[in-house]
Amino acid sequence: MGKEPFIVGNWKMNLTLEEGVEFAKSLRNNLHGKNKTISGICPPFIFLKDISRVLEGSNICVGAQNIHSEKNGAYTGEISALMVKEAGCTHVLIGHSERRHLFGEIDSFINAKIKTALSVNLKPIFCIGETLTEREEGRTEYVVKNQLKNGLLGIDNNYVEELVIAYEPVWAIGTGKTASPEQANEVHSFIRGFLTDGYGKDIANGVYIQYGGSVKPENTRELLAQPEIDGLLVGGASIKLEAFLKIIDAASIQ
Ligand code: 13P
């Protein structure tokens, strides 16, 4: 799409605080002044403030892995959008398949979280994707369309442009099975088409659509060579400094 690729690492529930801070320092030192690729990391909540301090003033963004849909209140154990913003986040993952499948998050909750994030100027990385069964039953487009429709319900056009959408087929997450670049591009085109129909071509083209699922240095270039893949959401390979740097490097010479 002619955009600078946007590469984000989702650390999930990994690393210690010390390892995370060291990682962030090395990332910053390695990328300083030599890389135009926009990158980001989503560490666990408890690391956010320390890591944001390390990355302040760099071109590496910090995102949270989740927020609650309410702005405050009696929600024991939850973290609000404003709290992660205060900890230095510019982005937040919303609707990750692990949240949907392991913690029972449904579309209406995800929709409310997206609205809350946007209301405090936090950019959602809205995750969608089908399971293996859904793909095998030929329901990929149906599933993705419903996730998009329900997740974006009631969101103004000018806000939609702020979104990053991450297409992460559930069967490719943590399994070593990457969607082929063509398979991924096909769903990305479908997503772009959905956005074009609903919000017009300009907005649709402005939205970053990332691919996620077993991304590694070896498949980065071929994935990003696809016309509809604007970036990558990286899990396992984003907690290994060398692999993550190689991915960012491969992305920058796209
Ligand atoms: P893996 O890269 O480990 O497959 O994880 C992808 C993911 O879930 C990123 O959000």
* Catalytic position from the list 130, 134, 162, 168: 168
How confident is the model at residue 34, as a pLDDT? Answer: 65
Q: Buried b / exposed e across 133-150, counting CB within 10 Å, b at 16+? A: ebbeeeebbebbbebbee
Is pLDDT above 60 for 1?
no
Does 163 or 36 have the greater pLDDT score?
163
Structure-block tokens of residue 92: 């937040």
Ligand 1 centroid distance, CA of 83 (Å): 25
- The closest-lying atom of ligand 1 relative to the alpha carbon of residue 93 is 10
Ligand 1 centroid distance, CA of 161 (Å): 24
Ligand 1 centroid distance, CA of 111 (Å): 22
Residue 110 near residue 95 (C-beta atoms within 8 A): yes
Tens of pLDDT along 175-234? 888 889 999 999 999 999 999 999 999 999 999 999 999 999 999 999 999 999 999 999
How confident is the model at residue 206, as a pLDDT? Answer: 95
Name the pTM for this structure: 0.96
How confident is the model at residue 35, as a pLDDT? Answer: 61
Question: Which residue type does 163 have?
Answer: L
- 184 phi, psi to nearest 5 deg: -65, -45
Is pLDDT above 70 for 68?
yes
Please work out whether the CB of residue 231 comes within 6 Å of at least one atom of ligand 1.
no
Cβ-Cβ contacts under 8 Å for 194 (sequence gap 6 or more): 144, 145, 148, 149
